[in-house]
Structure 1
Amino acid sequence: MENSENQVTEVKSFFQSNTAKMIMVGFLTLVLLIPLFFVQDLIRERSMRKTAMVDEVTELWGRDVMFYGPILRIPYTSYEAYNVTNPKTGVTTIERKAVSNYAYFFPNELKNTSNIKKNESLKRGIFNHVVFTADMNFKGDFTKPNFSKLGITEENIQWNKASIIVKTTNLKSIKSELKIQLNNDKFSFEPQNNDKSDYSVLATNNFDYKTLINNEKINFNFGITYNGSNSVKFIPVGKITTVSVDSDWESPSFEGSFAASDTTKTISNKGFHADWKILDINRTFTQQYVNALPDLDDYLFGVKLIQTVDEYQQNERASKYGFLVIGLTFLIFFLIQSVSKINIHIFQYSMIGLALIMFYTLLISITEHSTFSFAYTVAGTSVVAMITMYSISILKNRKFPMFIGVSLSVLYTFIYVIIQMEDYALLVGSIGLFLILGAVMYFSRKIDWSK
C-alpha cells in the first residue's frame, strides 16, 4: 500500500517538475508549426495570384523591351550554278540562275537617349503592378557600304532597293508613329514577317541609296515610345554606340555584357541616370553581314527595373521567423513561471501561441491593402497588446506582463529591421541571436532545474 502511494507521489512530482513542463512546452511549439506552415502556404498562394495578375497585365501593357538596329539593308544579285541535262542528247551543261540576297550594314555611330517613367495606374482587384513608358530617341549615321569586302561587285548591287530595318520586341506596345529621317527625307516603318526569333522586324519602303547619300553619309534620326515592363535593353550595333538612360525608378539593376559608366551613374530615391559607351573593339562581331543577320543576344545590355522586395517576399521572410518568435516567447513565459513559481497551464501557452500565429494572417491581409510597414506596425501592436493583457490575468501582477510586452516589442522590431536589410541581414541576425542567447543564459543562471 505504501509503495503504491509513493509511486503516485513520484508521478505527480515528475509532471509538476520543470523538465516535464519544458517537454510539454517544447511539444506545443512543434505542434504550432502546423498552423504556421498553413500561413506560409497562404502567403505563397497569394503570391502566385499576384504573379498571374502580373503576367496578365504585362501581356496587355507590354513586356521587356529589346532593340536591335537600325540596320541598312541593300539587296544584291548573286548567281547559283546548276547542271542541266538534255534528255535527247544526254549532254550536261552548266547554267546560272540569278538570286536576290541581302547585305546588312550596321551604323558607324549610334546614339540613344531614353527616358523611362513609372506608370502605377494598372490595377487588378487588390493587386497593383508597376509598369513603365519609355521614350527613346535614336540618331547616328551610316557610312558608304564596303561591298568589295564582302566579295560583291558593283554591277550586282541593287542600290535603288535599299531600306532601313530594326528588330524589336513588343510591337503591340509601341505607342508612337514610327518614322525615320534619312538626311532630308522621312520614311515610315512597316512590319514585316517575323524572322522566327523573339524579335519582330520593321522596315522602311525602298529608297535609292545613291540619290539619298550626302557626303558619303546617311544621317538618321527617329523616336519611338514603348509601353513596357521589367527591362529595357539594347544591342550595340554602332561602331561607336552611346546610350543614356534617365528614369524616376529608384531601384534599377544594370545588366548585360557591358557595364554602365561609374563616373556618371547616379541612383537616388528620385530615380537614376546611367550612360554606356561601347566601341566596336569591345565586342567580337563585325559591321556587315550577308544573307542573314546574326543572333547577338549575348551582347544585350541595359537596365532591369526591379522591386527589391515585394510585399509577399517580405511576408514570407517574416513568417520564416515564426518558429523563433514562438520559441522565444514561450521561453520568456517559462522563465517567468520558474522564477515567480506561478503555474501557467498548457492551455494558456496554446492561446499565446495562437495569438502569435494570428500576427502573420493579420500581416498579409493588411499588407494587401496598404504598405508592409504599416501592416507590420498594426499587426505587431495588436498582438503585443493582446498577449500583454492576457498575461496580466495569468501572472496576477503588472511587472512581468510589462516585461513581456517590452520583450515582444523589441523582438518584432528586431525582426522588422532584419527583413528590411539586404546585405547585412545575416550579420545583424547572428549578432541579435547571440545577444538573446546571452540574455537567456543570464536570467536563467539561478533557476534550480532539479525541481
Structure 2
Amino acid sequence: MEPITHEPRSFFDRYAYAIKGALIIILTLVLLIPTNLIQNLIWERRDRQEGAIKDIGNRWGNEQNITGPVLAIPCKAPTGELTYAYLLPEQLKVNGELLPEKLHQGIFNVAVYNARLQLSGTFNGDAIALLNLPPSALDWEHASLLIGLSDLHGINNQVQMTWNGKNYLFNPGVVSTDLFNNGVQVPVVLYPGDTGALRGNFSLELNVRGSGRISFSPIGKTTQVSIHSSWKDPAFDEAFPPQNRKVDSKGFTAGWQVQHLNRSFPQSWIGKKFNIHTADFGIKLLIPMESYQMTLRAVKYALLIIGLTFFIFYFIELSQRRAFHPLQYMLIGLALCIFYILLISVSEQINFMMAYIIASILTIGLITVYTATAFKSARIAAGIGGALTLLYGFIYVIISAEDQALLMGSLGLFIILAVVMYLSTIIKWEHTSKNKTIHQS
C-alpha cells in the first residue's frame, strides 16, 4: 500500500511548543501580581511592628540622645539681640553600662534598655574670648548648665552634678531651643571675667531608660565614651565607629574618642548658629535576623524562582515528550508564591533561618508530590525536588550575605544562564515543528 500523507498541520499545531513557551512567559509575568501583593503584606506587617516599637517606646522610653553638659550664658549679640552664648566642655568622659531587655507586644519583640551613665570632665573659659564680646555683653550671674535628653520620660534618677565643689540639682526644661528641644537645666552663678572658675572638674550620674538606640553628642574638645552591655547583637554608627570594640557571646564593649577637629562646630558660639547633632554617634540594639527585611529580599528573587521552575518543566516537556497543561503551570506558580506567605507567618514565630527551611520543605514537598502524580514518574519528581532545593538554598545564601549579595547573585545568575544555554542545545528543536507522515497498510 502506498503511504497516505496527511495535509500539513495548522500553524498552531506546528508551533505548539513555541506558543506554549510564550504562554509560560506571560504566566510568569502574571504571577508577579501576587508577589507584589505579598510585598504589600510584608510592608503592612512591618508597619505594625514599627507601631509596636513606638507604643512600647512611649511607655518605656524612646531612643535616647545624650548631649551635655553645656554652659549657656545670656548675652547681648553685636546686632543688639538678646540671646545666649554657649560654651562646650574642654574634656568630656562618658562611662556606662546598658542593661538590655526584650519587651513583647503581641508577636513583636522590642529591645529596650536601662542606661547607667557617669559623665565627667572640665570646662575652659578661654573659649569665651573667641566670641569677641565686651565683658558687659555677658550676663554671667544668670548662666545655666544644660543637658539635652531626647525623651525625659525615661529619666530614672534625680540628676545632680558636682562642679567646683558645689552640687547642682537639675530641673526639667531648657532655657533655649537653640541646641536641643528637650532636656534639663540648672542655674549657676558665675562672675564676670572669672573664667578660672570654669576650670574645675564636674561629674554626674545619669540613669535613663530607652529603646532601640542610644547616642551621644561629642561636645567635648576631647570626647571619650566607653559603653559595655550584655547585648549580643549591637550595631555601631559608622560615621564615628568605635576605636575599640569587642562583641562575643557575653555581650559587647566599645570605646570612642572624638576630637573637636572631627566635628563641624567650635567650642563656643552665639545663638542658633550650629547644629550640635551633626556628629552624633551611638549604638543600636538589634533584634537578630529581622524577618520582614529578609523576606523582602527573598521576594525580590521571586521572578527568578518562578521563571527557572517553569523552564525546568518546559524542558521536561520538550525532552521527554510529556504534556503539562497551562493550568498545571499556574498551580505550580501559586505554590511558589504561597512559599512567601508561609515564610512571613512562620518567621513571626521563630527565627528566620528555621522559618525559611520549613517554608522551603513544605513548598518543595508539595511540588515534588504533584510532579510525581502529574508525570507518573518518581525520577522526574526527584529531579524537580533536587533542583528546587538547590535553588532555594542558593537564594538563602544570597539574602543572608548582605555585603557579598551582589557578587554572589551575579555569579549565580551567570552560572544559571550557562546551564540554561547548555540545556537548550540538547533539545531537538527541529523535531518540535516537523510534520508527521503516517503510513497506512
* TM score, norm. by length of structure 1: 0.81
The answer to whether the Cα contact below 8 Å between 2:111 and 2:285 also exists between their aligned partners in 1 is no
Match of 1:176 in 2: 157
CA deviation string 1:387-445 (max 9, x = no partner): 11111111112111111111111111110111101111111111112222222233332
Match of 2:333 in 1: 353
The answer to whether the Cα contact below 8 Å between 2:77 and 2:270 also exists between their aligned partners in 1 is no
The answer to whether the Cα contact below 8 Å between 2:226 and 2:253 also exists between their aligned partners in 1 is yes
Q: How does 1:58-77 map to 2 (within 5 A)?
A: 58-73=57-72
User: What residue identity is the alignment partner of 1:445?
Assistant: T
Which moved further from structure 2: 369-378 or 26-35?
26-35
CA deviation string 1:6-37 (max 9, x = no partner): 47x4256236x321321232222222222222
User: What residue identity is the alignment partner of 2:161?
Assistant: I
Partner Cα separation in structure 2 for residue 350 and residue 49 of structure 1: 32
CA deviation string 1:317-340 (max 9, x = no partner): 111211111111111111112222
Q: 1:142 aligns with which of 94, 101, 123?
A: 123
Assess, with a 3 A threshold, how the Cα gap between structure 1 residues 434 and 129 changes in structure 2: closer, same or farther: same
User: What residue identity is the alignment partner of 2:39?
Assistant: Q
The answer to whether the Cα contact below 8 Å between 2:212 and 2:285 also exists between their aligned partners in 1 is yes
Q: How does 1:281-360 map to 2 (within 5 A)?
A: 281-283=261-263, 285-289=265-269, 295-306=275-286, 310-360=290-340
Match of 2:385 in 1: 405
Q: How does 1:183-332 map to 2 (within 5 A)?
A: 183-193=164-174, 195-196=176-177, 198-206=180-188, 217-247=199-229, 248-256=231-239, 258-261=240-243, 264-268=244-248, 270-283=250-263, 285-289=265-269, 295-306=275-286, 310-332=290-312
Match of 1:10 in 2: 10
- Say what the alpha-carbon RMSD is for the aligned residues: 3.4
The answer to whether the Cα contact below 8 Å between 1:188 and 1:205 also exists between their aligned partners in 2 is no
Match of 2:3 in 1: none
The answer to whether the Cα contact below 8 Å between 2:125 and 2:196 also exists between their aligned partners in 1 is no
User: Which runs of no fewer than 5 residues in structure 1 stay unpaired?
Assistant: 82-98
Match of 1:40 in 2: 39
Partner Cα separation in structure 2 for residue 332 and residue 311 of structure 1: 30
Which moved further from structure 2: 142-151 or 171-180?
142-151
Match of 1:114 in 2: 96
Match of 1:387 in 2: 367
The answer to whether the Cα contact below 8 Å between 2:216 and 2:282 also exists between their aligned partners in 1 is yes
Give SS of 1:350's match. Answer: helix
Assess, with a 3 A threshold, how the Cα gap between structure 1 residues 278 and 324 changes in structure 2: closer, same or farther: closer
CA deviation string 1:349-394 (max 9, x = no partner): 2221111111111111111222211111111101111111111111
Which moved further from structure 2: 384-393 or 245-254?
245-254
User: What residue identity is the alignment partner of 2:91?
Assistant: E
CA deviation string 1:58-94 (max 9, x = no partner): 333333322222134566899999xxxxxxxxxxxxx
Which moved further from structure 2: 173-182 or 321-330?
173-182
Assess, with a 3 A threshold, how the Cα gap between structure 1 residues 159 and 321 changes in structure 2: closer, same or farther: closer
Deviation at 1:200, TM superposition (A): 2.0
Which one has more relative contact order, counting CA pairs under 8 Å at least 6 apart?
A: 2
The answer to whether the Cα contact below 8 Å between 1:244 and 1:274 also exists between their aligned partners in 2 is yes
Match of 1:94 in 2: none
Partner Cα separation in structure 2 for residue 26 and residue 40 of structure 1: 21
Give SS of 1:265's match. Answer: strand
The answer to whether the Cα contact below 8 Å between 1:71 and 1:107 also exists between their aligned partners in 2 is yes
Assess, with a 3 A threshold, how the Cα gap between structure 1 residues 108 and 26 changes in structure 2: closer, same or farther: closer
Assess, with a 3 A threshold, how the Cα gap between structure 1 residues 296 and 326 changes in structure 2: closer, same or farther: same
CA deviation string 1:234-260 (max 9, x = no partner): 23332332111223252413244x453
Deviation at 1:303, TM superposition (A): 3.5
The answer to whether the Cα contact below 8 Å between 1:110 and 1:242 also exists between their aligned partners in 2 is yes
Assess, with a 3 A threshold, how the Cα gap between structure 1 residues 436 and 269 changes in structure 2: closer, same or farther: farther
Match of 1:85 in 2: none
Give SS of 1:444's match. Answer: helix
Identity among equivalent pairs (%): 33
Give SS of 1:405's match. Answer: helix
- Based on CA coordinates, which of the two structures has the bigger radius of gyration? 1
Partner Cα separation in structure 2 for residue 120 and residue 175 of structure 1: 19
How many residues are aligned here?
423
Assess, with a 3 A threshold, how the Cα gap between structure 1 residues 303 and 394 changes in structure 2: closer, same or farther: same
* TM score, norm. by length of structure 2: 0.83
User: What residue identity is the alignment partner of 1:52?
Assistant: G
Assess, with a 3 A threshold, how the Cα gap between structure 1 residues 249 and 195 changes in structure 2: closer, same or farther: farther
The answer to whether the Cα contact below 8 Å between 2:126 and 2:195 also exists between their aligned partners in 1 is no
The answer to whether the Cα contact below 8 Å between 2:110 and 2:287 also exists between their aligned partners in 1 is no
Assess, with a 3 A threshold, how the Cα gap between structure 1 residues 221 and 331 changes in structure 2: closer, same or farther: same
Which moved further from structure 2: 181-190 or 373-382?
181-190
The answer to whether the Cα contact below 8 Å between 1:105 and 1:145 also exists between their aligned partners in 2 is no
Partner Cα separation in structure 1 for residue 326 and residue 79 of structure 2: 91
Partner Cα separation in structure 1 for residue 304 and residue 273 of structure 2: 57
CA deviation string 1:190-235 (max 9, x = no partner): 113562354324223545779x999984222111122223433323
Partner Cα separation in structure 2 for residue 134 and residue 393 of structure 1: 61
Partner Cα separation in structure 2 for residue 158 and residue 26 of structure 1: 78
The answer to whether the Cα contact below 8 Å between 2:232 and 2:247 also exists between their aligned partners in 1 is no
Partner Cα separation in structure 1 for residue 115 and residue 98 of structure 2: 4
The answer to whether the Cα contact below 8 Å between 2:174 and 2:185 also exists between their aligned partners in 1 is no
Which moved further from structure 2: 189-198 or 358-367?
189-198
Give SS of 2:45's match. Answer: helix
The answer to whether the Cα contact below 8 Å between 1:73 and 1:162 also exists between their aligned partners in 2 is yes
Matched, 1:105 2:87: yes
Q: How does 1:404-423 map to 2 (within 5 A)?
A: 404-423=384-403
Matched, 1:24 2:23: yes
Partner Cα separation in structure 2 for residue 39 and residue 124 of structure 1: 23
